[in-house]
């Protein structure tokens, strides 16, 4: 059954669907793209003077791709 049409109202069905998405190869590809964008964003601000704002942007770029759950 396709996940798009599946009944995911039970915790078990939802957990199985999440596990299927996590295990799919495209998920790792998406994380690779996100890590690349994060690195490019950090590079784009690298020449700015050090400041609390620059630190916050740098931390945000890391947090977006390093988060769990």
Give Cβ neighbours of residue 57 (< 8 Å, ≥ 6 apart). 41, 45
Answer whether 57's CB lies under 8 Å from 43's CB.
no
Residue-wise pLDDT tens digits, 10-56: 999 899 989 998 899 999 999 999 999 999 999 999 999 999 999 99
Q: What is the pLDDT of residue 66?
A: 87
**What is the Cα–Cα distance from 64 to 36, expressed in whole angstroms?**
12
pTM: 0.70
- In this predicted model, what pLDDT tens digit does every residue of 16-27 receive, in sequence order? 989 998 899 999
Structure tokens at 54: 């620059």
Alpha-helical (H) ranges within the chain are 11-23, 25-44, 52-66
């Amino acid at each position: 059954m396709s996940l798009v049409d599946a009944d995911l109202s039970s915790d078990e069905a939802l957990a199985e669907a999440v596990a299927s998405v996590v295990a799919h190869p495209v998920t790792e590809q998406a994380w690779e793209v996100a890590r690349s964008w994060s690195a490019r964003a950090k590079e784009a601000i690298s020449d700015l003077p050090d400041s609390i704002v620059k630190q916050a942007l740098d931390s945000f770029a890391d947090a977006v791709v390093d988060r769990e759950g």
